Amino acid sequence: MADEGGTHGAPFGATVADASDTVSDAVLGSHWAAISGRLKTEVGEVEYRTWLRQITLGPLDEDELVLFLPTRFLRDWVRGQYGDRLQQLWQGETGFVRRIELQVQRNKAVVADDGEVMPAARIEAVVEEPVRAAATDKTSDLAAPLDPRFTFDSFVVGKPNEFAYACARRVAEKPSSPGFNPLFLYGGVGLGKTHLMHAIGSELTRGGRVSVAYMSAEKFMYRFIAAIRSQSTMEFKEQLRSVDVLMIDDLQFLIGKDNTQEEFFHTFNALVDAGRQIVVSADKSPSDLSGLEDRLRTRLGCGMVADIHATTFELRISILEAKALASGVIVPAKVLEFLAHKITSNVRELEGALNRLIAHANLFGRPITLESTQEVLHDILKAHDRRVTIEEIQRKVAEHWNIRLTDMSSARRARAVARPRQVAMYLAKQLTSRSLPEIGRKFGNRDHTTVMHACKSIAALMERDSAFAEDVELMQRMLES
Amino acid sequence: MADAAQRDHADAVCRDEGTGAGQLALPFVREGRLRPESFVAAPSNTAARAWLDNGNWPEFRLWLWGAEGAGKTHLLTIWAQGRDAAMLDGATLSDADVESILRMPELQAVAVDDADRVADGRALLHLVNALRERAIPLLLAGRLPPARVVLDPPDLASRLRANASVAIGPADDRLLEALLLRLLAEREIVVSRPVLDWLHRNLPRSPAALVQAADRLDRAGLAAGRPITRALARDALGSLIAGE
């Protein structure tokens, strides 16, 4: 992490030098002594020792004072629990500190000794990017970053979604056209509403002239509540009303949230009146969104309402082909067809399944086959892992090898009987969590050593005889499914 | 070195819990049992470990699942410590928890245990969405895979079904043996080799049963005030032992 060693952002040396022109370290130190004394009485000795004692003074940059903590965890905790209070105390104590900034500065000795300071480093490359991107966006406090994967080019068009796609494209080309404001996209979970909204946003922001705010209705609500709490609703309203395009995803989440709905309604009107574009998505059409205020439903339905239908087999195949191609991993056509047949719920889960296969193949360095697909996705493909009983195993095995069920517990030692019995014992060990003595008891009170011997013999035989191994594996799969 | 730091860290957190202060739901290490070195690696958890070591999770999420006692919480804790992750309990997860987690600047990663018992699905959905937006890895653990858990709202179900999930498989003999030894050692229960073999042979071959057995033996040993013999074990374990 960039800030781990204190090398984060502007070099500290420079800021310390600037600050020392006005405030000396000794002055800061005496203020800090006074503040930490107050904190100790406020929070108590134990609390202070646990969390606050480890704070060290950092540089003062204009009116922002940096405080260091030795670990990220401590820093986050202190920031969450005491950040505001620390700032208040500093503001009360001196005129020259207005803000405080908590940063991580590890003890140098610790960094030197423990070679692996950042086990998370490997994922960091992936993590950093979108966070940074968000920070440069001026509406970043408010809106969510647009997902660069969700573009019009990566949206696979078919019968079920062509109308919604065309409407989205139109809005991206000519925002606020009569008849298309608001654009209301609706359909079931995971069919591509969010994708289309991000695509509109990406398209519009490409020139850099249009400001777009995309957020889920949920986030809208949380932001609104937070604004009320921090008495900054005016700021919130202004921010929202300054955008050219406002996109609210999953509007159904506002059902039952009357105050938030009210706020949304006013924002909506203000924007539309000012000729700005609004795009909204929900799981149902405006008229079916019961629980939403009537006047809001009416307004939502007065632009373009476009629905996305459930996928067809053809569309699912096209989507999978496009995704497989983009991934650069070879996925056999048989596997794609299998997925398109089996995962019909929605596009998100379909793509998720393909992504899992690809990630698995990359992780373990194995090609994607129909067999590996069934193995990797068995939790989605099978409704449950069956709990098999010893009795079931005995019955199935007896049927398969055409012996009597009673022979599972009989004393007969002819191979035609003994071999299937051993197979059943082997499967009982594989498929149940019974102890070996208990398995033995179910096979005519045999000793656990007999079960052990049976398991060993069958495993050895399976090694030698592949036809036999296939037979036993087939049996196992039958019992499991 | 790192281990000592980790213990201090755990101690610090425990002390805080004792004072009742702090409202964040961040129960880091509740007990010393979940250390990396006490995790028993075996073929049944190879895939899970490989996924946890690898950072490239589709959608930045992974759902870890397996039977009770399979080691989910243990793996989750190891991962969370390595990634400086915030840990949350799915069963009690609330909006307030999610909000305070999301307010943490430079949040690195989040781990949610017992995600299959989530009571407030909307809070979890909010967390899932917000973390995905910020490309922050989220590890969830539950007894069943997302496809077999009833998750509400449907958006949450669909999102969690779209990410990767990896199972900890049924334990093999060697793992069970190592696990039994560890469970007894943690409880400072001393048994002779023959008694150990007898336990291993007669107890059901599931981690959950072994945990139950170790607890019962612990209580019985304390009550009796003498080492565990086979007779004492048989009495203490009762119905856990096959056919008795």
CATH at residue A351: 1.10.8.60
Look at A106-120, A325-339, B41-55, B130-144 and tell me which has the smallest mean pLDDT: A106-120
Are A443 and A321 found together in one domain?
A: no
Residues A183 and A272 in one domain: yes
Residues 6 or more apart in contact with residue A269 via CB below 8 angstroms:
A299
Backbone angles phi, psi at B141, to 5 degrees: -130, 145
Alpha-carbon distance of A65 to A19, in angstroms, equals: 10
For residue B206, which residues of chain A lie inside 8 Å, CB to CB?
A: 433
Tokens of A475: 């049996």
**Alpha helices, H only, chain B:** 2-19, 46-53, 72-83, 95-103, 121-133, 154-162, 173-186, 193-202, 207-224, 230-237
Cα–Cα distance between B68 and A463 in angstroms, integer? 32
User: Model confidence at A345, in pLDDT bands (50, 70, 90)?
Assistant: confident
Question: For residue A67, is pLDDT > 60?
Answer: yes
Whole-angstrom Cα distance, residue B92 to residue A55?
31
Which of A54, A83, A111 is the endpoint of a domain? A111
Is position A57 within any domain? Answer: yes
A290 shares its domain with A249: yes
Question: What does the pLDDT look like over A9-37, one tens digit per residue?
Answer: 332 223 333 333 456 777 777 788 888 88
Interchain pair B83, A120: CB under 8 A:
yes
**Closest Cα partner for A354 from A363, A365, A366, A343?**
A343
Indicate whether A303 and A400 sit together in one domain.
no
Answer whether A468's CB lies under 8 Å from A461's CB. yes
Most B CBs within 10 Å: which of A1, A76, A378, as the mutation test of the B interface? A76
Out of A60-74, A174-188, B7-21, least confident range: B7-21
Identify the pLDDT of residue B224: 85
How high is the mean pLDDT of chain A? 82
pLDDT in the model for residue A180 = 94
> Cβ of B141: how many Cβ atoms within 10 Å?
27
Same domain, yes or no: A213 and A70: no
pLDDT of residue A73: 62
Question: pLDDT of B99-116, one tens digit each?
Answer: 888 888 889 999 999 999
Residue A226 placed within a domain: yes
Residue A67's H or E segment, with its range, is strand A64-69
Report the pLDDT value the prediction gives residue A106, as an integer from 0 to 100.
Answer: 55
**Total domains in the fold of chain A:** 4
CA B128-B130-B136 angle, 5° bins: 80
pLDDT band at A107 (very low <50, low <70, confident <90, very high): very low
Residues A198 and A320 in one domain: no
Q: What pLDDT band is residue A71 in, cutting at 50, 70 and 90?
A: low
Binding positions of A are 190, 192-194
| Of A111, A138, A158, the domain-final residue | A111
pLDDT of A79 above 70: yes
- The continuous run of DSSP H or E covering B164 comes out as strand B164-167
Task: Name the one residue in this structure whose structure tokens are 């000729």.
Answer: A275
Asked if the structure places residue A438 within a domain, the reply is: yes
pLDDT at A202 over 50: yes
Is there a single domain that holds both residue A131 and residue A234?
yes
Burial class (CB in 10 A: 0-12, 13-18, 19+), A416: exposed
Instruction: Evaluate whether A48 touches A106 at the Cβ level (below 8 Å).
Output: no
Handedness of CA B35, B41, B45, B49 (dihedral sign): positive
CATH number at residue A60: 3.30.300.180
How many residues in chain B? 244
Answer whether A192's CB lies under 8 Å from A161's CB.
yes
Give the residue-averaged pLDDT of A423-438.
93
- My answer on whether A332 and A261 are in the same domain is no
Answer with the residue of higher pLDDT: A105 or B234.
B234
List of residues 6+ apart from B194 with CB closer than 8 A: B230
Whole-number Å distance between alpha carbons of B111 and B126: 14
Average the pLDDT over A192-212 and give the result.
Answer: 91
Instruction: Pick the more confident residue, A44 or A232.
Output: A232
Contacts of A379 in chain B (CB under 8 A): 65, 145-148, 165, 167
Do residues A316 and A350 make contact, with C-beta atoms less than 8 angstroms apart? yes
The C-alpha of A321 sits at a distance from chain B's nearest C-alpha, in angstroms, of: 17
Cβ-defined contact of A127 to B137 (cutoff 8 Å):
yes
Residue of B nearest to A250 (CA): B155
Set out the domains of chain B in order of their start, with CATH numbers.
4-29+172-241 (no CATH), 43-167 (3.40.50.300)
Listed in order, strand segments (DSSP E) in A200-262 are 212-216, 245-249
- Whether A336 is covered by a domain: the verdict is yes
Q: Tell me, yes or no, whether A167 and A207 share the same domain.
A: yes
What is the mean predicted confidence (pLDDT) over B192-220? Answer: 92
What CATH number did the domain enclosing A212 receive?
Answer: 3.40.50.300
User: What is the per-residue pLDDT for A308?
Assistant: 96
The mean pLDDT value for A299-326 works out to 94
Q: pLDDT band at A158, cuts 50/70/90?
A: very high
Question: What is the per-residue pLDDT for B39?
Answer: 82
Nearest partner of A182 among A270, A284, A299, A290, judged by Cα: A299
State yes or no: pLDDT of A405 exceeds 90.
Answer: yes
Asked if B64 contacts B139 with a C-beta cutoff of 8 angstroms, the reply is: yes
Maximum Cα–Cα distance for chain B, whole Å?
59
CATH number at residue A418: 1.10.1750.10
CB distance A358 to A327 below 8 Å: yes
DSSP string, A326-384: HHT----HHHHHHHHHH--S-HHHHHHHHHHHHHHHHHHT----HHHHHHHTHHHHSS-
- Kindly identify which residue of chain A lies nearest to residue B23, measuring between CA atoms: A81
pLDDT band at B243 (very low <50, low <70, confident <90, very high): low
Cβ within 8 Å of residue B148, ≥6 positions away: A379, A383, A384
What is the per-residue pLDDT for B13? Answer: 32
Q: Give the residue from B168, B195, B167 showing the smallest Cα distance to B181.
A: B195
Q: How far from A397 is each of A40, A106, A137, A243, A447, CA to CA, in Å?
A: 73, 63, 65, 69, 20
Return all residues near A253 (Cβ < 8 A) that are at least 6 apart.
Answer: A216, A217, A218, A221, B122
Do A323 and A374 lie in one domain? The reply is: yes
- Check pLDDT > 70 for residue B9: no
Map tokens 């940059």 to a residue: A61
Distance from the B226 Cα atom to the nearest Cα atom in chain A, whole angstroms = 27
Shared domain for A286 and A246, answered yes or no, is yes
| Residue A251 maps to a domain | yes
Kindly identify which residue of chain A lies nearest to residue B160, measuring between CA atoms.
A349
Across A26-55, average pLDDT: 76
Contact B2 A379 (CB under 8 A): no
Q: Which of residues 130-149 of B touch A (CB under 8 A)?
A: 130, 133-137, 145-148
Q: For A205-218, what is the mean pLDDT? A: 87
Range of A96-100, B101-105, B134-138 with top mean pLDDT:
B134-138
CA distance A479 to A379: 16
Q: How far is B208 from chain A (nearest CA, A)?
A: 10
- Does a structural domain hold residue A5? no
Please give the Cα distance from A412 to A404 (Å, whole number).
11
Q: What does residue A323 show for φ and ψ, rounded to 5 degrees?
A: -70, -40
pLDDT digits (tens, 9 = 90+) for B29-66: 334 567 777 788 888 999 999 999 887 899 999 999 99
Distance CA(A348)–CA(A191), nearest Å, equals 7
Distances (CA, A) of A318 to A157, A222, A357, B221: 8, 38, 17, 65
Judge if A43 and A77 occupy the same domain: yes
Cα-Cα-Cα-Cα dihedral sign, residues A204, A207, A213, A214 = positive
Token pair 């060693």 in the structure block, residue: A5
Return d(Cα B138, Cα B93) in angstroms, integer.
14
Task: Examine residue A157 and state whether it is found in any structural domain, yes or no.
Answer: yes
Domain boundary among A384, A417, A437: A384
Task: Please give the pLDDT value at position A141.
Answer: 56
Tell me the one-letter amino acid at B13.
Answer: V
Confidence of residue B2 (pLDDT cuts 50, 70, 90): very low
Angle separating helix axes A25-43 and A72-93, nearest 10 degrees: 100
Contact status of A153 with chain B (Cβ, < 8 Å): no
Reported as a single tens digit per residue, the pLDDT across B152-198 is 888 899 999 999 999 998 888 888 988 898 888 888 888 899 999 99
A positions 405-434 inside 8 Å of B (CB) = 429, 433-434
Check if A76 contacts B (Cβ < 8 Å).
yes
Domain range for A36 is 25-111
Q: Which residues have a Cβ under 8 Å from the Cβ of A478 and sit 6 or more positions away?
A: A396
The string of DSSP letters for B106-146 reads T---EEEESGGG-S-HHHHHHHHHHHHHTT--EEEEESS-G
Task: Determine the Cα–Cα distance for residues B87 and B81; give it in Å rounded to an integer.
Answer: 9
Closest residue by Cα to residue A82 from A33, A48, A45: A48
A8 part of a folded domain? no
Which two tokens mark B65? Answer: 């699942």
Q: How many C-beta atoms surround the C-beta of residue A210 within 10 A?
A: 17
Residue A138 pLDDT level (bands cut at 50, 70, 90): very low
Task: Quote the radius of gyration of chain A (alpha carbons, Å).
Answer: 32
